[in-house]
C-alpha cells in the first residue's frame, strides 16, 4: 500500500500544529528529569481542555463510586459512605452479569439514559426529554462523527456541506473533510466578543452555493476556543435560520457547566427551540452533545458522553440505531461517571457536604481565573482578550512584522512560533490559534481556564514576562 | 432530514437479526422479575463473546490495580498486596497529572505501548516488535475500522474490495459496506473443520474481477464464529497469496488466548511472516489486532485493544498517525487493563498465586466446555459440530423442511426462528448463523465457550431437550 493508494480523504489530512509542540514538551520534560537547569522546574500544560492534566483534582464521590463498581469487595469495608455504596450497588445491578466488564447496549445502559433524560428535563425547565432519543457514546466528538456519517453522503456530487465556526478545533474540521464532506467556514465576530451573527451565516451559505450542498449547521456553545456564551436572542435567530434553510442543527454544548461571565447564563438549544413553540419546536432537527470530560468532573480519560436527538424523522432514527449498533458500547465506567454527573449527591446525602465543597471550590476557581486572565492580558501591550464568559479564553496577539518574518524563516505559522518560544523559554504549553482557524492576518492563543488558582497565577506570570520580552525582541 | 437524504451507505444497512432476540430477552427477564412462571428461572445469555455476561468472574489482580488507580486513597490502606500497589503507582505516574481522568496520546500511553511490544516479542519467539508501530485503541473492531478507513477510497470506481470470511459477524461486514467498500465473501470449509483454503481465496478474488478493486484480506484466527485455529502451513499459504496478489493482510487475532484443541497451537501472522524470511518478511503489509475484551480477563466493558502494523510504508504510517489523531485516546482504564494483560504477575510476586489459580481455572473450564459441546451436540440427531479448537463453536443444525416453512410464515430466517423458540421455551440466548453468513441452505448457531462449567452443563441440557422436541415437532 503506497501513499498514493490510500484513501484520498486521509491523504488530504495535514499533521496537527500541536504535534511538534507536544514532542518538544516531551523533550523538555525528559531534560528536566535528567537535571538540566531551565528557568522553570516544570511545564504547565494547558494545551488541551483537560482539567486533571491542568492540575484539577477528581471529585471524590465520582471516584469512590467507580472504584466500588470495579472492585465490589470495597463495599464490604467501612471506608466508603453509605450513599457511595448504595449508588455502586444500584449501578452494578444495571450491568449484565453484575460486572462493569460486560458489554452494554450500544446506546448505553437504559437506566443511565433514563437518568440523563431526567437531568435534561430538569435543566430545561421541564421541556420533556425521552431516554429513547439519547445515545450514550465514548465522547461528544465520537457522537458528532457518527451523526455526520449519517448526514454526509460520501458519494454525493456536489459534496455535502457543514457550516462550521471559525475558530473551531482543527480535529472537527478534519473529521468532516475526512468523511468526504466540506466544512463551510463561518466567522465568529471577535470585536463583538466572539458572537455568532446570522448575517455571517447567510454570507457563508451564499459563498458555498454551487460548491457543495449544505445540510447542517454546527455551533459550539459555550464556545471552544472562543469562550463566548450565546444569548437567548442569538439562539432564536439561529433557530429561525436553520428552519428557513432546512439545516440540521448540531449543538456542541459540552461546556455548559463552565459559565463564569457576569449576567451570563447557559440555555440549551433544545430549551430555546421548545419555548419558541410550533411550528419550529416540532420541525427543527437538532442533535445536542454533552460529555463527562468537561464540567466539574473533568473525566476526559474515562471517555463518555451522550447525544440527544430532537425532531428526527422516525425512519432516520431507525437507521441511526442500526448504524450505532455496528460499534461496541461506550466504556462502562465512563457511562457510570456520566450517571454521577447528571445525578450528583443531593443536600442531606452523606456525601453531599464534600461533593458540594469540591464543586464550589472549582466554581470559585473558574470565576477567579477568568477574571485574572482578562485583566492580565488586557494590561499587556499588543495583546487583547474579549470577555471570558465560558470554557476557554482565546486572546489575540498582535505580532510584530519581524516576528512573523522570523516564523516564516523557521517554517512555522506565526502563532506556533510564539507558542514554541513560550514553551521553550517559559515552560508553558498552549495551543496556537492556527490550530483553530482565524481571520487572515490575526493571531491567537487558546488558554484553558480550569487550572488550580496558584497554577493560573504562575502561568500568567510566565506568559506576561515572556510576552513583554518577545514583543521587545521584534519591535 | 428525510430517510432519502441520509447517507446511502447508512440507508443500505439492515437491522441486526439479534435485535429482536435481545428485545424478547428483555421482555422475558421483565416477566421473570414480575413472577411469571416459566420452565426456567433465568435466561442464559451467550449471545455475545462476553465472558462476564456469561458468568465468568473478573481477575482479582486486574480489578485491584484498576480500583487503586481510580481511587489512590486505597494505596494507603493494608487491603491490597504490595505488587498491586506498586503496579498502580507505576501506572499512575504514566498518566499526565497523575490521574486516569486525563487524556493520553491518541496512540496510547507510551509506556504501555512499550509493554505491549515486549509481550509480542516474547510471544513470537523473539521476532522484534517496536512500540512506535503499536496503536492502542478502544477495541479491535475500532482499530479495524480505522485501518479500513485508510485503505478504502470511498470515491473510487470500481469500489474498494476487502476479502472477508464467511462466516464472519455481520457488524464487520456492515462496517466495510458502511464506508463505501465491498466485502468480497470467501467461504471457510466446514467439512474440513472450518479451514481457510487458498483455492477458495483464489475463486473469490476471481469472482470479484471487474466488480471491485480488492486491496485487503481479512482473516480471523482463532476463528469467530467458526472456532478453527489455523495451522502454520495454512498461514504460510495465505501469506504467499497476499504477497502475490499485493493485498494488505488484516489479522484479527483477539482470541489468541482461547485455544483448547488437542495438539493445536496459536501462531501469530507476524511470527509466521517473519520466519518465512525475506523477501516476504520485508514486504507483506500486515495489521494484527488484539483486545483486552477476550482471553482470560474478558474486560469487554473497559474498551481497549491494540493494532500492530508491520511493513507499512513510512509515508502511509505518517498519515495513519494523523488520522488516528483526529480521535481522542482509548479509555485510560482500558489501557491499564491492557498493560496488566500483557504483563501479568510472575512467579514469586505476591499476587501470582491467586492470579495463577484464577487463570488456570478458566483454562480448565474452557477445555472442559469445548469437549462437552462437541460430545453433546454430535450425539444429537440433525445437529453436528466440527472440532472446537478455539474461541467459539459454530454447530450446524439440519432443520426439517417444515420448520423452514414455519419460519418463512413467521417472517424469520430459519435459524433465527430456531433461536427465538429456544429462547422462549428454554431460556437460552444464542446467535443465529444468519447473523454471520453461511453457505446457502445451511443453518447454524454460535455458542460462546467461556461460561462457568455449571452454566455450560445447564445450557447444553436445555439445548438438547429443546432440540429433540423441536426436530420432532417438524418431522
**Residue-wise pLDDT tens digits, A35-83:** 999 999 999 999 888 999 999 999 999 999 999 999 999 999 888 999 9
What is the predicted pLDDT for the residue at B278? 97
| DSSP secondary structure letter of residue A276 | H
> What is chain B's alpha carbon radius of gyration, rounded to the nearest angstrom?
23
Q: What share of chain A has pLDDT > 90, as a percent? A: 85
pTM: 0.95
A6: chain B residues, CB-CB within 8 Å: 150-151, 153, 316, 319
Distance CA A21, CA B166 (A): 46
Give A12-32 pLDDT, tens digit per residue.
Answer: 777 777 888 988 999 999 999
Give A226-253 pLDDT, tens digit per residue.
Answer: 999 999 999 999 999 999 999 999 999 9
Whether ipTM exceeds 0.90 = yes
Correct CATH for B102-342 of 3.20.20.80, 3.40.640.10, 3.40.50.11540, 3.30.565.10: 3.40.640.10
What is the predicted pLDDT for the residue at B156? 85
Task: Verify whether the Cβ–Cβ distance A103 to B178 is below 8 Å.
Answer: no
What is the predicted pLDDT for the residue at A180? 86
Give A181-219 pLDDT, tens digit per residue.
Answer: 999 999 999 999 999 999 999 999 999 999 999 999 999
| Closest in A74, A77, A319 to B6, CB measured | A319
What is the predicted pLDDT for the residue at B114? 98
- What mean pLDDT do residues B248-275 have? 94
Q: Give the 3-state secondary structure of chain B.
A: CCHHHCCHHHHCCCCCHHHHHHHHHHHHHHHHHCCCCCCCCCCEECCCCCCCCCCCCCCHHHHHHHHHHHCHHHHHCCCCCHHHHHHHHHHHHCCHHHCCCCCCCCCCCHHHHHHHHHHHHHHCCCCCCCHHHEEEECCHHHHHHHHHHHHCCCCCCCEEEEEEEECCCHHHHHHHHHCCCEEEEEECEHHHCCECCHHHHHHHHHHHCCCEEEEEEEEECCCCCCCCCCCHHHHHHHHHHHHHHCCEEEEECCCCCCECCCCCCCCCHHHHHHHHCCCHHHHCCEEEEEECCCCCCCCHHHCCEEEEEECCCHHHHHHHHHHHHCCCCCCHHHHHHHHHHHCCCCCCCCCHHHHHHHHHHHHHHHHHHHHHHHHHHHCCCCEECCCCCECEECCEECCCHHHHHHHHHCCCCHHHHHHHHHHHHHCEECEEHHHCCCCCCCEEEEEECCCCHHHHHHHHHHHHHHHHHHHHHCC
Q: How confident is the model at residue A311 (pLDDT cuts 50, 70, 90)?
A: very high
Task: Verify whether the Cβ–Cβ distance B303 to A154 is below 8 Å.
Answer: no
Contact call for residues B219 and B234 (beta carbons, < 8 A): no
How much is the mean pLDDT over chain B? 94
Distance CA A164, CA A13 (A): 17
Q: What share of chain B has pLDDT > 90, as a percent? A: 85
- What mean pLDDT do residues B328-337 have? 96
Q: How confident is the model at residue B248 (pLDDT cuts 50, 70, 90)?
A: very high
Task: Verify whether the Cβ–Cβ distance B3 to A322 is below 8 Å.
Answer: no
Give A355-394 pLDDT, tens digit per residue.
Answer: 999 999 999 999 999 999 999 999 999 999 999 998 899 9
- Chain B residue closest in CA terms to A151: B6
Contact call for residues A350 and B199 (beta carbons, < 8 A): no
Task: Verify whether the Cβ–Cβ distance B51 to A319 is below 8 Å.
Answer: no
Residue B2 in grid coordinates: 428525510
Residues forming CATH 3.90.1150.10 domain(s) in chain A: 3-56+355-474
Size of interface A-B (CB pairs under 8 A): 267
Residues forming CATH 3.40.640.10 domain(s) in chain B: 102-342
Domain at B3-56+355-473, CATH class: alpha beta
CATH number of A103-342: 3.40.640.10
Residues forming CATH 3.40.640.10 domain(s) in chain A: 103-342
Task: Verify whether the Cβ–Cβ distance B53 to A102 is below 8 Å.
Answer: yes
| Closest in A7, A175, A328 to B326, CB measured | A175
Q: pLDDT at residue B14 above 80?
A: no
CATH number of A3-56+355-474: 3.90.1150.10
Residue A36 contacts by C-beta under 8 Å, 6 or more apart in sequence?
A: none
Q: Which residue has the higher pLDDT, A13 or B421?
A: B421
Look at A326-340, A428-442, B141-155 and tell me which has the smallest mean pLDDT: B141-155
- What mean pLDDT do residues B340-344 have? 98
What is the predicted pLDDT for the residue at B174? 87
Omega of the bond leading into A189 within 30 degrees of 0 (cis): no
What is the predicted pLDDT for the residue at A319? 86
Q: Which residue's C-alpha cell is 455476561?
A: B53
What is the predicted pLDDT for the residue at B323? 84
Residues forming CATH 3.90.1150.10 domain(s) in chain B: 3-56+355-473
As a dihedral over the C-alpha atoms of residue B17, residue B20, residue B21, residue B24, rounded to 10 degrees, the angle is 180
What is the predicted pLDDT for the residue at A8? 80
- Chain B residue closest in CA terms to A77: B79
Amino acid at each position: 500500500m503506497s501513499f498514493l493508494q490510500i484513501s484520498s480523504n486521509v491523504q488530504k489530512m495535514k499533521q496537527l500544529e500541536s504535534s511538534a509542540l507536544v514532542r518538544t514538551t516531551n523533550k523538555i520534560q525528559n531534560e528536566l528529569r535528567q537535571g538540566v537547569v531551565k528557568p522553570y522546574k516544570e511545564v504547565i500544560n494547558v494545551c488541551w481542555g483537560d482539567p486533571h492534566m491542568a492540575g484539577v483534582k477528581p471529585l471524590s464521590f465520582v471516584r469512590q463510586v467507580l472504584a466500588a463498581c470495579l472492585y465490589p469487595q470495597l463495599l464490604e469495608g467501612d471506608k466508603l459512605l453509605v450513599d457511595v455504596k448504595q449508588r455502586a450497588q444500584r449501578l452494578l445491578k444495571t450491568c449484565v452479569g453484575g460486572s462493569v466488564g460486560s458489554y452494554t447496549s450500544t446506546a448505553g445502559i437504559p437506566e443511565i439514559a433514563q437518568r440523563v433524560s431526567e437531568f435534561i428535563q430538569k435543566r430545561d425547565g421541564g421541556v420533556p426529554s425521552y431516554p429513547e432519543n439519547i445515545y450514550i457514546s465514548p465522547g461528544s466528538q465520537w457522537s458528532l462523527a457518527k451523526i455526520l456519517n449519517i448526514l454526509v453522503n460520501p458519494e454525493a456530487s456536489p459534496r455535502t456541506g457543514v457550516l462550521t465556526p471559525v475558530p473551531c478545533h482543527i480535529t472537527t474540521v478534519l473529521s468532516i473533510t475526512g468523511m468526504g464532506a466540506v466544512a463551510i467556514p463561518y466567522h465568529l465576530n471577535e470585536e463583538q466578543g466572539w458572537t455568532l451573527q446570522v448575517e455571517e451565516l447567510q454570507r457563508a451559505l451564499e459563498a458555498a452555493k454551487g460548491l457543495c450542498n449544505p445540510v447542517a449547521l454546527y455551533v459550539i456553545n459555550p464556545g471552544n476556543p472562543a469562550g463566548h456564551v450565546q444569548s437567548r436572542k442569538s439562539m432564536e435567530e439561529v433557530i429561525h435560520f436553520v428552519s428557513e434553510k432546512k439545516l440540521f442543527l448540531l449543538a456542541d454544548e459540552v461546556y455548559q457547566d463552565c459559565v463564569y461571565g457576569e449576567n451570563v447564563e447557559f440555555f440549551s438549544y433544545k430549551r430555546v427551540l421548545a419555548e419558541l413553540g410550533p411550528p419550529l419546536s416540532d420541525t427543527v432537527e437538532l442533535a445536542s452533545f454533552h460529555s463527562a470530560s468537561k464540567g466539574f468532573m473533568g473525566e476526559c480519560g474515562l471517555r463518555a458522553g451522550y447525544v440527544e436527538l430532537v425532531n428526527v424523522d422516525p425512519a432516520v432514527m431507525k437507521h441511526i440505531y442500526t448504524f450505532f449498533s455496528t460499534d461496541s458500547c461506550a466504556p462502562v465506567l465512563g457511562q457510570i461517571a456520566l450517571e454521577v454527573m447528571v445525578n450528583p449527591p443531593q443536600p442531606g446525602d452523606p456525601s453531599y457536604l464534600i461533593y458540594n465543597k469540591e464543586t464550589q471550590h472549582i466554581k470559585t476557581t473558574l470565576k477567579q481565573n477568568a477574571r485574572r486572565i482578562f485583566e492580565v492580558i488586557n494590561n499587556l501591550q499588543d495583546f487583547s482578550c474579549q470577555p471570558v464568559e465560558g470554557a476557554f479564553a482565546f486572546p489575540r496577539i498582535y505580532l510584530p512584522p519581524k516576528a512573523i518574518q522570523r516564523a516564516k524563516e523557521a517554517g512555522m505559522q506565526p502563532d506556533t512560533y510564539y507558542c514554541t518560544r513560550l514553551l521553550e523559554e517559559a515552560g508553558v504549553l498552549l495551543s496556537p490559534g492556527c490550530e483553530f482557524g482565524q481571520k487572515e492576518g490575526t493571531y491567537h492563543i487558546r488558554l484553558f481556564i480550569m487550572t488550580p488558582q496558584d497554577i493560573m497565577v504562575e502561568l500568567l506570570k510566565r506568559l506576561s514576562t515572556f510576552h513583554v520580552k518577545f514583543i521587545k525582541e521584534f519591535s
